[in-house]
Amino acid sequence: MAQRISLRDYQRELAERLRLADSARSASKLGVQVGEQNWLIDLAEAGEVMPVPPLTAVPLTQPWFRGVANVRGNLYSVVDFAEFLGTGVSGTGEQARLVLLGERFRNAAALLVDRSLGLRNPKELRAREAAPGRKSWLRGEYEDETGARWSELDVGELVRAAEFLSVGL
């Protein structure tokens, strides 16, 4: 027979489980590879990671603006993040992914990356000294236990940056 529990105890227990789940989720960062660089994106700022759907080119735009993608009936602007950074062109192979930016930014944009590297725990990373003249959308730089470098993207700053918004030629 099931144990009886009061509604108040149930709500308290549920609130605690939700708080723990939210803190665990916010502690993780999404790792992506962009060219030879490793990037971190806060899960609260990323919407979804998906295989690259067909892209429709848009004329008279920057080379890093790959076009638009139809994702479940919604159009997303697709930015080749490697080309935007000036480090080459992202592949469109089997491992390439679109990282849809969080809906809270209300911009329907996606970043084309070479591949997803899964979740990373920021506690396992050591902060590195910031490079002089870094962009406002670079939240921080880190190094993991293997010596690999990681850069953390501030999506909110990126979607407000003039260079990101200036897609026209």
Measured between alpha carbons, how far is 43 from 68 in angstroms, rounded to an integer? Answer: 23
In three-state secondary structure terms, 64 is coil
Specify the CATH class of 29-124+135-165 in words: mainly beta
Determine the pLDDT at residue 163.
93
Q: Please report the sign of the dihedral spanned by the C-alpha atoms of residue 161, residue 32, residue 57, residue 73.
A: negative
pLDDT, mean of residues 26-38: 87
Measured between alpha carbons, how far is 108 from 47 in angstroms, rounded to an integer? Answer: 10
Determine the pLDDT at residue 16.
73
Higher pLDDT, 10 or 37: 37
Q: Using one digit for the tens of pLDDT, what is the confidence trace for 101-121?
A: 988 878 899 999 999 999 999
DSSP assigned state of 85: H
pLDDT, mean of residues 2-28: 68
In three-state secondary structure terms, 98 is strand
Measured between alpha carbons, how far is 57 from 64 in angstroms, rounded to an integer? Answer: 11
**pLDDT over 80 at 7, yes or no:** no
**pLDDT over 60 at 24, yes or no:** no
Determine the pLDDT at residue 21.
57
**pLDDT over 80 at 22, yes or no:** no
Determine the pLDDT at residue 20.
61
**pLDDT over 80 at 130, yes or no:** no
Higher pLDDT, 10 or 139: 139
- Residues 72 and 25: beta-carbon distance below 8 Å: no
Measured between alpha carbons, how far is 7 from 139 in angstroms, rounded to an integer? Answer: 43
Q: Using one digit for the tens of pLDDT, what is the confidence trace for 46-95?
A: 889 999 999 999 999 999 999 999 999 999 999 999 999 998 888 778 99
pLDDT, mean of residues 24-39: 83
Determine the pLDDT at residue 39.
95
Please, is 164 exposed, middle or buried when counting C-beta atoms within 10 Å of its C-beta (0-12, 13-18, 19+)? buried
* Strand runs labelled E in 59-164: 65-71, 74-80, 97-101, 109-113, 115-120, 126-127, 138-143, 149-153
